[in-house]
Structure 1
Amino acid sequence: MNVIWARSAAILISLLVLSAGVYLVAGPVPALALACVSLLGLLFYYLYQINRLWKVLDAPVYGEIPSALGLWGEVYYRLHRLVKRWRTQVLQVEQQHTRFIQAIQASPNGVLMLDDADQIEWCNDVAEEHFGLNARRDVRQRITHLIRRPEFVHYLTRQQFDDPLVMRDMGEHKHSAIAVQILPYGDNRKLVITQDITKLENTEAMRRDFVANVSHELKTPLTVLTGFLETVRDLPVSEEDRRRYIDMMLAQSVRMQSIVEDLLALAKLESDAQPPGHDVVPIRAMVAHLMHDAEALSQGRHHVAAEIDPTVGMRGAETELMSALGNLVSNAVRYTPEGGRITMRLAWEDGHAVFSVADTGLGIAAEHIPRLTERFYRVDRSRSRDTGGTGLGLAIVKHVLSRHHAELRVTSEEGRGSVFRVVFPLERSLRSAAASADSPVAGAGPAVTPQAPDSPRRAA
């Protein structure tokens, strides 16, 4: 017997006992009147409590369970406990739902949910950006009313979702590529997954360009070598022409060797997972070496100078940095007309060690600057070959600086020259009292006294 039957039986038994006592004392009429009044009072009390319970169930508010005595107190207590348990379960479900939504929002992919009528139920921020939607405004709208691209409509209605659909120039971003994959689930519902593959396609295009460019770069000297070898073998040539042909073949061989060496250097940089060391770089000796190389390459056709703050130092791999900075300097010499000026500068900028190379050369158009560090990318192919470049120098610079967490910043104006700035991170920027341990820059004259980082002295 549960508590309700037990308490109800106890109340009735108590009422019968009380009526029997009145019957023995006052007779049957008072006993019957007492029993009737008690039963009516109990009935009205039950009706009152039932009305309270009805109001609670009709408009439930958590925490507003009424209290009562006796049996109804037990009912309200159990109802409160049941509501509390249900509320806990609801809060757990809401927390799981919130975490699920947060996880989808954190995904780099777009997620869009469609009902059985292809109406939008929900989508995350990435899907909004990819399709140009607004989740609040466009909910319960048919997806084909909002995305009217013929290829998407055909993909949705064809019901063949094994392969993703690639859509280009979506949303506000031009020159973009979005891969769309539809996954059916539930009762004829659909999950639309989107992924931005713009970088992937650009990388694939760069790979194709690289294969084509390296083939072309190697094919040209090989063609020259083959032609001259056939000429020397099959045709009678004078000793002077033979010597000239051999010199030209040697130049092409050296060019191929330079390309192969640069490719091997790039491969080594890419395959080396270990970060470069934090050894102190003898930067003044390095700049002196760069000055000597620039003057040798220029052969007196340019004015080469250096401005160095002696308190600037850096940490890293000396050979790698020498290769990267040397490529910047040699490029400045190659692409600066005779009589121009090349200036190397080492200074502090906002606490960062910065090495820059400025020239008064031909300059670079703005549309070419973002692609300068691509392998074999040339602003002017014919001019690049005339200067003897392999097309891999800035690619090597990019990888070396990436390993050192440094940044290459390029500013240029056509016809007025360019400035290539290497900004080293704080952890590799070294401030010293003076770089007395390094050899002075060639042509700099006597050693300079240390100065504040914001006022570098001209070293050459």
Structure 2
Amino acid sequence: MFDLWRRFAAIILLIVVTVIIWGVVDAVTALALFSLVLLGLTIYHTYYLALLDLWFQRFNHSAFDPFTIPNVPKSFGVWGDVFIRLARFIRRYYRSRQSLSKALERLQRATSAMPEGIVILDEADRIEWCNPSAEQHLGLDLRLDIGQHVTHLVRQVQFVAYLTSGDYSKPLIIKQSRYEELVLLLQLVPYGDREKLLISRDITRFEKMEIMRRDFIANVSHELRTPLTVIGGFLETLLYEDIKDSEMEKRALILMNDQAKRMQHLVEDLLTLSKLENAQNILHEEEINIAELLQSLYQEAQSLSAGRHHIHLKLVSDAHLLGSVDELRSAFSNLISNAVRYTPDGGNISLSWTEEQGQGLFYVQDSGIGIGPEHIPRLAERFYRVDRSRSRETGGTGLGLAIVKHVLNRHQAHMEIISEIEKGSIFKVWFPAKRLIKNKGSHLTIHDTHAMPSNKTIPPLI
């Protein structure tokens, strides 16, 4: 406030002097003196305003270098204070800009040394900056492509769909069109005000290793299939021939036949799993009559059980399902056969198809041995067994639930497992509403009159 009054002190003093001269001499002299002083102040302020404007023009054309920034004009009085404050502001501004420039330079050096490609996109998905790895991965040129929309340079249909979808929770794998052997993993990371980071990673080597792994499993499985079929066929022939051999030889043939069949099942499961994991294996979808499929699986379960269990089928919904009938048959069959294997004689097994919460629900419920909660998160891992000795007795390969997991992932479905030791298990498979096809015809319902034990809920596994 004091500084403000000091600015007007000269005007107030001029008015006081003018009034005194007016009273002592005359009005003409007073007004003449007042006009001359005002003219001097106007010339003074206009001159320094012109200096300030000229300085701003020179400052705008400088390169923000301390040696090229023009000096602030020297002055006295009010303008002297203004120029002093301006000089201080310029020094602080330069220091701050210099510090930010150094930080940005360090950041650019660090990102330039990263093996991952980094592209900064503005709110309109135009390229603002990229590092050398991104130039190599995506075929960019920082000097020429700044300001270009990223889809003008990365034109794969999958990437354009990924960018416009707005869902960047999962990365995208593409093959770079300019370099056919280059496989990239792309991830968009939103930040700031609708800006994005596009991160690229070269996974060509890992992709080749994965292909080699899948090919190895597929090739070995194919090579094993033929000799195992031949061995199994001859063993079965010898086993059922009416030959008078010792009991030990007979038992040896039985064990050899059982193990040959087990190896055949393992080979078949490995081939199925290899096929499901192959990214080139496109899902062939068709309308599936789930009621007919489950009735067929119900008959197979009766044959597998051989009368040792009480098996019930409940069809509450007549909805059909969009998907691959062979893959879903394999997944459902694995769940049903597991229930038969791990349920003691005389136990109950229930198969059901219904709708809940707008989703399709298939579940297998049994009164078997149950599963401990510590095992449930790992059940879908390959070759994972809760009890290895029991698995060997039942002939399991350890790949059944891994196959189920891959099939469900391909159908956007998930599995929930509810189980307690010695009380049984429920394997629930939830299908999204978009895969349900409503059937207006009548439906068959076979009710299960057996009440199954209640179980505590375990979080979804898949």
Structure with more contact order per residue of length (Cα contacts < 8 Å, sep ≥ 6): 1
The normalised TM-score by structure 2 is: 0.48
The normalised TM-score by structure 1 is: 0.49
